[in-house]
Structure 1
Amino acid sequence: MSFGTFIKNIRKHMELKQAEVAEQTGIEASYLSKIEKDRVAPPSEEVLIKLAAALYHDPNEIIYKAGKIPPDIRELILNDEELFFYLQQKLEEKQKGE
């Protein structure tokens, strides 16, 4: 599922209008429409966090679905050497399997 479809599905499930979500997010409704139709790349992390709040949804999931790494997860990886090397090992295993 594309990012835009993901956002649209959440908005419709919450029974919110594009104009409502756009206003709460601080963006134009036309921009939200473009996001939902995948006509533009996912917005900045700042907008994603506001979008998550407007949709009453987990910001980390919204950021992740946008193809980005949530800041708290990025911070965790940067501050946990064991976790970093574990992830690096997983990446190497995946690359060998391809």
Structure 2
Amino acid sequence: MSQSALTFGNFINKKRKIKGITQKNVADALGVTTVYVCDIEKNRRYPPTKGDMLSKLAKILTLNEDEKNILYDLAGSDKGCAPPDLTEYIMSSDIIRTALRTAKKKATTDDWQQFIDNLHKK
């Protein structure tokens, strides 16, 4: 399954099964019902995007940094919004929003790659 066809629920289900964790284990650790976890996995409910539920879920599933980023990206994508881990950061500063709006109008993929490369050099 390509990542473009991957949903939050599919991702959670796959990672949970690989780790040998039951829906009940996940539900108990998150403080929710098993039905809630089942509904999320079957894409009958939107992913959680508030509070620390996503970070708890990442810990329960022992996700690495790349997998955690996919988790957040899918949570945002399935709800049609920015990934929840970025929303607070974007809203925290006028300069960030100005930079993103400017980039939206003028930045190329090469510009973004150069920006990322420069940040990695710091």
TM-score, length-normalised on structure 2? Answer: 0.60
The match for 1:8 among 8, 13, 26 is 13
User: Residue 56 of structure 1 corresponds to which residue in structure 2?
Assistant: 62
Q: Secondary structure at the match of 1:45?
A: coil
Contact kept in structure 1, 2:49 and 2:84, CA below 8 Å: no
The CA deviation at 1:29 is: 1.1
The match for 1:69 among 75, 84, 95 is 84
Q: 1:56 to 1:9 in 2, by over 3 A?
A: same
Residues paired across the two proteins, number: 91
Identity of aligned residues (%): 31
CA RMSD of aligned residues (A): 2.5
Q: How does 1:9-28 map to 2 (within 5 A)?
A: 9-28=14-33
Q: Per-residue CA shift, 1:37-66, capped at 9, x if unaligned? A: 000111242222222221122595233320
Long gaps (5+) in structure 1: none
TM-score, length-normalised on structure 1? Answer: 0.72
User: Residue 85 of structure 1 corresponds to which residue in structure 2?
Assistant: 98
Long gaps (5+) in structure 2: 1-5, 77-82, 108-122
Distance (whole Å) between structure 1 residues aligned to residue 98 and residue 104 of structure 2: 10
The CA deviation at 1:84 is: 3.0
User: Residue 43 of structure 1 corresponds to which residue in structure 2?
Assistant: 48
